């Protein structure tokens, strides 16, 4: 049995989910890219055995409490999964949740945690990224409670290949 690649996402709920999903769908249609769920990555790209990952994710979810997330600024980058994104405030709660996830899954290296919510995936030119940023009609900041934790198998860089394995609701703080 081989280890597989997994990701943990926090999804907004309710009206915030609907608003951001609408923006993602609109941008994806305009730039002919993939549609995906709005999310803030709690722990991205870690290797684990599928037989262990759900039990560990369950333990993680039981150890976490909900926490506030605030999306505060529009940004863009040349990275495929971060073409257009909203920066997320880095708070003691979000850092603690990320560190807890790293600990549970034994992830000891990686980039510094920079929470964000992507609105558009793709390899866009700088002009396309600027146009997409200018087309966004969002009133920032946008805040929501991190209560919806999802575990996905992400076998490759194709977002259409991801598979949700588990959904958890974090207890209120």
Instruction: Examine the pLDDT at 158 and tell me if it is beyond 80.
Output: no
Q: Classify strands 4-11 and 84-88 as parallel, antiparallel or unpaired.
A: unpaired
Give yes or no for a contact between 49 and 6, defined as CB atoms under 8 angstroms apart: no
Sheet containing strand 40-48, edge to edge, reads: 142-146, 67-76, 84-88, 116-120, 40-48, 4-11, 148-153, 163-169
Domain 4-169 falls under CATH 1.10.10.10 = no
| Bridge partners for 6 per DSSP | 46, 153
Decide: pTM greater than 0.85.
yes
Instruction: Examine the pLDDT at 122 and tell me if it is beyond 80.
Output: yes
Please report which confidence band the pLDDT of residue 108 belongs to, taking 50, 70 and 90 as the band edges: confident
User: Could you say which DSSP state residue 83 is in?
Assistant: S
Question: Which of 60-64, 93-97, 158-162 is predicted with the least confidence, judged by mean pLDDT?
Answer: 158-162
Q: Where exactly are the structural domains of the chain?
A: 4-169
Express each pLDDT in 124-157 by its tens digit.
Answer: 999 999 999 998 999 999 999 999 999 999 877 6
Give dist(CA 47, CA 97) in Å, integer.
19
Question: Higher-confidence residue: 73 or 162?
Answer: 73
Please state whether the peptide bond connecting residue 141 to the residue before it is cis, i.e. omega within 30 degrees of 0: yes
């Amino acid at each position: 049995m081989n280890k597989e690649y997994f990701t943990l996402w926090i999804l907004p709920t309710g009206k915030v989910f609907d608003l951001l999903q609408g923006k993602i769908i609109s941008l994806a249609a305009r730039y002919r890219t993939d549609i995906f769920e709005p999310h803030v990555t709690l722990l991205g790209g870690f290797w684990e055995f599928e037989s262990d990952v759900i039990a560990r994710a369950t333990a993680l979810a039981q150890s976490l409490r909900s926490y506030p997330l605030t999306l505060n600024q529009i940004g863009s980058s040349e990275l495929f999964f971060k073409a257009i994104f909203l920066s997320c405030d880095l708070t003691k709660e979000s850092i603690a949740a990320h560190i807890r996830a790293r600990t549970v899954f034994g992830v000891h290296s990686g980039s510094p945690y920079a929470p964000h919510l992507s609105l558009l995936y793709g390899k866009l030119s700088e002009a396309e990224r600027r146009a997409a940023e200018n087309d966004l009609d969002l009133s920032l900041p946008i805040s929501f409670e991190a209560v919806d934790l999802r575990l996905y198998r992400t076998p490759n860089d194709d977002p259409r290949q991801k598979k949700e394995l588990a959904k958890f609701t974090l207890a209120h703080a």
